[in-house]
Amino acid sequence: MNIILLGPPGAGKGTQAAKIVEKFHVVHISTGDIFRKNISENTPLGQKVKQYTEKGLLVPDEITVAMVKDRLSQPDCKAGYMLDGFPRTIPQAESLEVMGEKVDCALNIDCDYALLIDRISGRRMCKECGASYHIKNSPSKEEGKCDKCGGELYQRDDDNEQTVKARLAEYDEKTLPLTEFYKAKGLLLQVDGNGSIEQTTENVYKALTSFI
């Protein structure tokens, strides 16, 4: 099964992606995670994309598409994958089709904008394993330390209020039209992401199970 995960920044895509992987055993491909890893390792790709990510802007399609094409060509993707954070534009979605990739469903986690800023500003990530926490809604047991691997928790550079506003504007203009794109193909699954993490996971599991 090949799944696309859609939703605005802060809707809980990363958190729900981990739950989906647990239950459906698909390979998790997060373009944001791949960019962050390259930036922190100062690779040529990281040097190219940093100027966009730090401003909350989308990385140009040709860079992103080439990276995803390379990742999808790896053997572990043959058994099924979940794309988290890709596609983010209509041309990216079209490029997946050109690559011959079959999308089984596009799961959109819907969330009121009023909730997003609070969720993003309280978000903390593990430097080692990428696990996601929230200082109020889902804190780690020990402050600043990952429950899963003991790694140090940090706040993403692009989770500050000004950059979040730019990311939401990019989402509205370039990514939101993808819901109509996949709806027209009969592939869109809508999930309510306004509730707790557990409620959203239940909605996600229900939608995916009814679909399989």
Residues 107 and 190: their CA atoms lie apart, in Å, by 6
Residue nearest to ligand AMP (CB): 32
Tell me how far, at minimum, the Cβ of 55 lies from ligand AMP, in Å.
8
Check: CB of residue 116 under 8 Å from CB of residue 136: no
Q: Specify the amino acid at residue 210.
A: S
CA distance 207 to 196: 17
8 in contact with ligand AMP (CB under 6 A): no
User: Residues with Cβ < 8 Å from 198, sequence gap 6 or more?
Assistant: none
Distance of closest approach, residue 159 Cβ to ligand AMP, in angstroms: 9
- Lay out the sheet containing 81-84: strands in order across: 27-30, 81-84, 3-6, 105-110, 188-192
Q: Among 167, 168, 188, 201, which residue interacts with ligand AMP (rule: CB under 6 A)?
A: 167
Residue 153 backbone zone (phi > 0: left; psi -120 to 50: alpha; other: beta) = beta
Minimum CB separation from ligand AMP for residue 64, in Å? 4
Which of 5, 26, 35, 106 is close enough to bind ligand AMP by CB under 6 A?
Answer: 35
Element (H, E) at 144: none
Determine the 3-state secondary structure of 123 from DSSP. Answer: strand
Residue 85 CB, shortest distance to ligand AMP, in Å, is: 3
Residue ranges in 66-85 that form contacts with ligand AMP under rule CB under 6 A: 85
Asked whether position 125 contacts ligand AMP by CB under 6 A, the answer is no
Instruction: Note whether 171 binds ligand AMP by CB under 6 A.
Output: no
- Interface ranges with ligand AMP (CB under 6 A): 9, 31-32, 35, 52-53, 56-59, 64, 85-86, 88, 92, 158, 167
